[in-house]
DNA sequence: CATGAATGAGCGTTCATTCAT
DNA sequence: AATGAATGAACGCTCATTCAT
């Protein structure tokens, strides 16, 4: 059981920084201190190992997303919460996020791949969450008049982009979450 | 000469959608209708082929960046121009951009790799361009008071994220460039 | 374990009669009834396989050389023993000797190659053994006055040449060892 | 014509020091400053190039052998002449001799290969030359009673071995020809 | 003679994976 | 749960060789 965990841990790290094809089972085995047959005792295949890791990562991510508030005094609190949550997650599970960023893109052509499914699920969740938030805020007069779906897409893109830069080590500034929140606040809130 | 071009074209597409390690030389050869030795006649190695493609893609990208205006009536025009240029580029060279998004991340650990060098070069250019723009706009009173470097990082992240979503086919909405421009305008311009 | 031995045996034979470059790993694999990955499971590379074979051959040879007598009633007995030992060895380990004769020469340019090291070691051993023997025999009056180092070189060359012809199948006469011994005896012994 | 010569010269050197299989046409072409098609304009194949070189080398060797005296005042003069001739040849055509030593052995299994044919021809010549010489010298009382064919084989082996050591750079002593001559003289001549 | 472009076949090697123990 | 030995298929790459110009 402990060895299985070692394999997962090692594989996560290697997949994240070298990609799926760029990581050999040999490397996983050596660096996790196990043996070939043991890997295949615990996992059906290299692909199976990868899938289990990705699924676990997304589940962890989704369970946090689901803890986002559905009712808030001000609608913008939701946006603020969403931005902050994502910045927290990059720090909490950096390897898992790196893994998704690096290894999912080449798989998005296959609509039945776990990566595709989960990324669509994520997008769907964020879309409906933000969409609902913007609609309410707009009709209550809290927000300025913005095109809903496009603004949703923009916010998702913005979060996505900032997370990516952080994860890849291309942006190491502190307090970027606050900056992002203020940037959005100025753009969205009625004055 | 035409065959060399065939190889480059095929390799660009395959690298972009399957990753570097996920693409075999055999596949490039078959799909480009050439032969193994010919690939190695024109390119020193699979890596060399990849590098030449990446370098060409970045050069194309940089030559467009350098055409951005240095002097504008309003500072925000620069931001607008930058956003629009990037959206144009995703349409002009979708495979090259996909290639960079998919294949560069696992290489960023190596500071001497072309991917790393070019991405740093890109970041440097955008940073100084936006930094300069924000400083001027802020002191002229065109922009609200924002923290320069963090806002720069945010705008880069935003552009980056939106381009990524478009390139991966996760965002197909029309007019996103305008939405992004307006979003920034509201957030940055003094009213 | 038995398969590893099969590989070594087959490789020895093939290297000996076709040379190193003239033997492909495929050939070794097919003729030894194994598989590609198994060869690389037991040996790091084709070169490693070759090196292990050469080293084993030389060790076998040296262990026999070391059993040569250091003290004899007549000094010429040593020369006789040396000649006979070498003729015995061509019969005992014909493939190993063939291997050395065929595959070592192109490697002698590299002073750090095992072939070079072992051949120098062999030469050093024979030189000191014969040199010592000739000196003693000359001063005791058993031998005629001959130039030591040149005569040593000549005897080594003679043994070397006869072994080579035997090994290459260019000389199949029986009793050549005796003939060589008598030839040397007449030339060296005082009458 | 000059380029053809360049190719031959380069190929001789490379074949001699790296073996036939160890030398690529590419290497010959680059080091001789020519081009692929030119090599195949002048020679039918890599094998053809090799064969022409070997044949030329043997012809050069044989033409010298044939200049050996058939009638001498003392029979031993022939042996002395033969030994000296061979030592001269190692200095005159070191690369050609190296070539034969290094590249012929793996081909001796094929009885129709030029190497085999020429080496047999060489052996036949030396055998009959020495055999005749020993017979005459023995019956004239110049030589002691030695077994003819075995002694012939021994002398050939001795010459062969000394030449090989010189050619491979394992023996660099000056005056070895004289030493060999004296060694044989003491062994063969009646006192 | 000279050159750039092209190839079928095969090279040494490694991949993910499985077997018997 | 763990290991040493084994494998089919494919990897990136290079071989000697040929073509049209």
What dotted CATH number matches C47-188? 1.10.357.10
CA distances, C11 to each of C19, C37, C103 (Å): 10, 15, 12
Q: What is the DSSP-derived secondary structure letter of residue B45?
A: S
What is the per-residue pLDDT for D1? 64
A19-74 pLDDT, tens digit each: 999 999 999 999 999 999 999 999 999 999 999 999 999 999 999 999 999 989 99
Chain position carrying tokens 């044939």: D66
What is the per-residue pLDDT for A3? 83
Say if domain A54-188 classifies as CATH 1.10.357.
Answer: yes
Say if domain D51-188 classifies as CATH 1.10.150.
Answer: no
Q: What is the DSSP-derived secondary structure letter of residue C105?
A: G
What dotted CATH number matches C1-43? 1.10.10.60
Can you read off the two tokens belonging to residue B130? 């936006």
Question: What is the distance between the alpha carbons of residues C50 and C115, in angstroms, rounded to a whole number?
Answer: 10
**Interchain pair B176, A158: CB under 8 A:** no
What does pTM read for this prediction? 0.90
Q: What is the DSSP-derived secondary structure letter of residue A43?
A: -
Give me the tens of pLDDT residue by residue for chain D, a chain 191 residues long.
688 999 999 999 999 999 999 999 999 999 999 999 999 999 999 999 999 999 999 999 999 999 999 989 999 999 999 999 999 999 999 999 999 999 999 999 899 999 999 999 999 999 999 999 999 999 999 999 999 999 999 999 999 999 999 999 999 999 999 999 999 999 999 97
**Interchain pair D144, C101: CB under 8 A:** no
Can you read off the two tokens belonging to residue C79? 């020369």
What is the per-residue pLDDT for A109? 87
Our separate counts of H helices and E strands in chain D read 9, 0
Nucleotides of E under 7 A from a protein CB: 1-20
Question: What is the distance between the alpha carbons of residues D163 and D169, in angstroms, rounded to a whole number?
Answer: 10
What is the per-residue pLDDT for C60? 96
- Label residue B157 by pLDDT band (50, 70, 90): very high
Can you read off the two tokens belonging to residue A67? 């803890």
Q: How do the domains of chain D map onto residue ranges?
A: 1-43, 51-188
Can you read off the two tokens belonging to residue C112? 């750090």
Residue C35 CA to nucleotide F10 C1', Å?
14
Rounded to a whole number, what is the distance in Å from the CA of C165 to chain D's nearest CA? 7
Are B and A neighbours with ≥3 CB pairs closer than 8 A?
A: yes
Picking from C115, C170, C182 by the largest number of D CB atoms within 10 A of its own CB, the best residue to mutate is C170
**Interchain pair B18, A165: CB under 8 A:** no
């Amino acid at each position: 059981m402990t060895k299985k965990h070692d394999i997962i841990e090692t594989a996560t790290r290697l997949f994240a920084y070298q990609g799926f094809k760029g990581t050999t089972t040999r490397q996983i085995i050596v660096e996790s201190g196990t043996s070939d047959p043991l890997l295949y005792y615990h996992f059906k295949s290299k692909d199976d190992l990868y899938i289990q890791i990705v699924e676990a990562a997304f589940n962890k991510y989704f369970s946090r997303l689901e803890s986002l508030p559905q009712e808030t005094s001000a609608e913008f609190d939701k946006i603020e919460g969403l931005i902050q949550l994502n910045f927290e997650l990059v720090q909490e599970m950096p390897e898992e996020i790196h893994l998704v960023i690096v290894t999912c893109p080449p798989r998005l052509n296959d609509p039945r791949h776990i990566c595709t499914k989960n990324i669509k699920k994520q997008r769907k969740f964020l879309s409906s969450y933000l969409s609902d938030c913007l609609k309410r805020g707009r009709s209550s007069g809290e927000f300025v008049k913005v095109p809903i779906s496009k603004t949703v897409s923009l916010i998702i893109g913005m979060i996505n982009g900032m997370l990516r830069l952080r994860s890849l080590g291309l942006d190491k500034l502190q307090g970027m979450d606050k900056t992002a929140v203020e940037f959005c606040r100025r753009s969205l809130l009625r004055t």
